[in-house]
Structure 1
Amino acid sequence: MKSPISKQKGHAAILFTIMIPGLFGLFSLATDGARMMQDKARLEDGLEVASLAVAAHNDDNVDDGSGSGSAVNQAIASAYIAQYMSDMNSVDSLSIQKLSCDQIPDCVSGLAAGEPRFFEFRVAATTAHDTWFSGDLKSFDENYTVSGQSNARKYQNSAVDVVFVSDFSGSMGDPWSGGSQDKYEDLVDVIETVTDELQKFNDLVNADDNTVAFVGFNNYVRLIDGNGSGATCFVDQLEYNRRGNIGYRRTVNRVFIEKQGCVTSGTYNAVIEDILPTTNFTSFNNKIDDFSPAGYTSSAQGLIRGAQLANLGTNPRRLVVILSDGNDLGSTNGVNNSTISSTLYGSSYNLCDKIRDDLDAQTAANGDPVTSKIAVIGFDYNVSGNTALQDCAGVDNVFEAQNKSEILNKILELISEEIGHLK
């Protein structure tokens, strides 16, 4: 008779054979499960960096029809995802959103409490991956997906000298679909809102304060000391040669020299004057409230005077914002204003490069190097067709606004520089 022990021989081997599929399944699940967790963590890391990069680039994020944001932002985010997710098959979905303050409850409530405004970029994605082992088992899928999202916010982190170079030609007195008032009145409201935001920064404990300056232009600009004796009058910012013709090279070389000499013809009845850089935003806003438009348009006149006011700034950041509702019109000394601006801004004379280079060569009051920018915001017309201003500011610094809110948001975006993570 066989012993009980002998009767059990072979049972362990059979039992082990029966358990192999289960053990392999547990091994596969543990291995692929760990990969899923690791891939999700890597995707979130990649999206975190991608959101910061998208916020730093600050593209308008106008959707190209794909529903996932602008092509520029898609390319930026996709590149970072690809670097972090080396084992993925594809990006199944990619969504990029750019939200202004009024679209973010935290920002809206923060404004009511006196906190600064911010913008937010949200980047979300889903990536597809093959499993290593689970595909060998009928009870498991052969692939899996992981998803993640990251957000980044843009704030203002340092003081800036802002110069508003504002079109006050006759067309600015017309109503438009982008607001409930005449264009110049909506523009004045926008500027006043911007100063409210700048004041919030100034109210904090800072070494430096934001300043604002103003240049209104039509055919010319009106200076508070136009003839050197305190009189306020319109002054031509162009230089002329001995024959009375425009001296383009001399105009560029002497761009920061403050001009004098009152012009009596071609000024119309626009009520404008330049306002030097100031931190007294209440006085500033009271003055621009009284301005009114008339005449034709010469952006070069406004830009040259704006450069001179930016040169008076003390902060490391200098921002000159040209705000206009149309192309240059009219003439100066018998030359079309559009010809004057395209000649000055073009490659032959490079007025805007001269302005930026000279400002950037300076050192601010706090010892930091100066960084300047010229930006253009066009509204109620197709600013992308204004090649002269694109040559001046650069295509990436020319923006089109469809309404009052978009003008405000774009100015505040230009002022905002700091990028921080969401908690």
Structure 2
Amino acid sequence: MISTPHKQQGTAAIYLVFLLVPLFGAVFFALEGTRYIQKQNRLADASEAAALAITMANRENKTSYDRDLATTYVQSYVRDIMDTPELSVSVKKGEDIVGKVRKPFFQYKVNAKTKHKSWFSSLLIPSFSSTESVVNNAIARNYPEIAGDKYVDIVFVSDFSGSMAERWDSGKSKIDVLKSAVLKIGREVLAENDDEDKNRIGFVPFNMRVQRYVNGKNLCVTQLSYKAYLPGHNARYYTPYEQVNWKKYALELNDKKFRNCWYDSRHCGDVSQNDLRTIYSISNRTNNIHPDPYKYVDIDKTVKNVFIDKIYNTKLHPKADYYKNNYLWSKYSCNADFHTIAMTENINELNAIKKMKAFGGTSVYQGIIQGAQLLQQEKNKYVTQKEKEAYKNRIKMLLILSDGVESPYTETFKELVEKGLCQKIKNEFSDGDVPLYMAVLGIKFDASKQRAFQRCVGTDNIVDVKNVDDLIIKIKDMIKKGTQSEGITKLHYRHLN
């Protein structure tokens, strides 16, 4: 059979179509493949940049922040993404051993996946699917520097309430274990002092108040501000709270005089009947009056004036006679044998802690406010620009050590925190190279479950200690964490799938 030229042309056309299919497929794969290789490289760049940024931020347990940051990087680096990138960020702690030195690190891994619409997609010609996914990941590590060449200011705000006198599992009291721990750590920190700029430590024991030596006398000090009157009280018949001479009445007023003067002004003598009415509004004629009742505390004013030292308002600082058990001021509030130790470079000044005793109720806010004031007093000593710059380089820490909740006034600290007490303290030192580090250590106490502590210092900065042998270790861990600077961040691993 002889084929005609027309039939031969038809056959050639069929062959040509079959030849063009792989040719077009090769073209499609070359163009689209190059595009997807570029996408994958761009995603690798994005994963790498995101991992480095997240690691430098080093916000442990802040996964939503990490994902948002990684998403921003991926969307900026990689174009024409069909949907929101699929991202996961994981973090772990570890140690590298360099020589004989252990170098702790935080490692962050970013996994990223993006979906794209293909330019060329056909069921007849070999090509990519209509949509394709690109996957990549990167790992970076941050090696925090522990203090380095920085000097440290540490204030221990320490619970000296009655419950701290209880025995721990070692047979020693909690207060004795705490004092030993603070002194041992103090010796280690201050032993490094060898030049003009030195490490410093302050110590603020508290129960319902803090105590300070002024002109040789140990005053029972409050750093709170107070409302003048309670709601419904007629100013004609009451003395404003802060104008009552609490110090005088704590030493002089007894039950009989109080009662007679209350009923008949002729029995008042040199005692003001209006003062007595204000005292009555607090004590309700009980012989267990405690200072600083919540109903009289001006929360907003206290936060506003947190750095105004009220030590010189001596009328507010009663200290009743422990043995006479004065009527006005309970011995459970102001009679523990302790006092604040201002910031010092000398370990011998800290040795006074050995003789201090625990007693009374618990008002942690008094200790926190006093501790913040100690830090600010050091800050204010620097006058010249050079001195101020040097101070910015110092690491500041406020470490709160407590064994229980507030007693008897359970609302004051919560309200102060809600109104911004802790944040205002942090803001005062926010211009430093390293922000103020505040932390809480619960001594045989679940401080980590206390909402006020969580809001004050952050959940990551609360540690509960159950075993006596762990106390020094945990305090050292807190200091180590507080002295960590941003450190060095390195890309550890980049992977191209």
* C-alpha distance in 2 between matches for 1:283 and 1:88: 68
Change (3 A) 1:13 1:274: farther
1:321 pairs with 399, 409, 414, which one? Answer: 399
Q: Secondary structure at the match of 1:422?
A: strand
Q: Name the structure 2 match of 1:237.
A: 222
Q: Secondary structure at the match of 2:332?
A: coil
Indicate whether 1:97 and 2:91 are aligned. Answer: yes
* C-alpha distance in 2 between matches for 1:236 and 1:407: 27
Superposition deviation, residue 237 in structure 1 = 2.8
Aligned residues: 373
Q: Which has the higher contact order (CA 8 A, sep 6+)?
A: 2
Indicate whether 1:421 and 2:489 are aligned. Answer: yes
Q: Partner amino acid for 1:147?
A: N
Change (3 A) 1:32 1:170: farther
2:438 pairs with 352, 375, 389, which one? Answer: 375
Q: Name the structure 1 match of 2:204.
A: 215
Cα distance per residue 1:285-335 (max 9 Å; x no partner) = 8777887755431112201220221023342254433343432113xxxxx
Q: Name the structure 1 match of 2:70.
A: 77
Task: State how 1:343-358 maps to structure 2 within 5 Å.
Answer: 344-345=416-417, 347=419, 352=422, 355=425
Q: Name the structure 2 match of 1:401.
A: 463
Superposition deviation, residue 80 in structure 1 = 3.5
Q: Name the structure 1 match of 2:256.
A: none
* C-alpha distance in 1 between matches for 2:156 and 2:57: 23
Q: Name the structure 2 match of 1:298.
A: 363
- CA RMSD of superposed structures (Å): 5.2
Structure 1 unaligned residues grouped into runs of 5+ = 1-8, 62-68, 331-335, 361-367
Task: State how 1:11-410 maps to structure 2 within 5 Å.
Answer: 20-55=20-55, 58-61=58-61, 70-86=63-79, 87=81, 89=83, 91-92=85-86, 94-99=88-93, 104-106=94-96, 109=97, 113=101, 118-130=104-116, 132=118, 136=122, 143-153=132-142, 154-155=144-145, 159-172=151-164, 185=177, 210-223=199-212, 226-229=213-216, 233=218, 235-238=220-223, 241-243=242-244, 244=246, 248=298, 249=301, 253=305, 255-257=307-309, 259=311, 263=319, 265-266=331-332, 273-278=339-344, 293-314=358-379, 315-316=391-392, 318-330=396-408, 336=409, 338-342=410-414, 344-345=416-417, 347=419, 352=422, 355=425, 373=436, 375-377=438-440, 379=442, 380-381=445-446, 383=448, 385-387=450-452, 393=456, 396=458, 399-403=461-465
TM-score normalised to the size of structure 2? 0.56
CA contact (8 A) 1:46 1:81 kept: yes
Highest CA radius of gyration, 1 or 2? 2
Cα distance per residue 1:239-292 (max 9 Å; x no partner) = 661224757548964744373768453268967554433456x76887778877
Could you tell me the percent identity over the aligned residues? 24
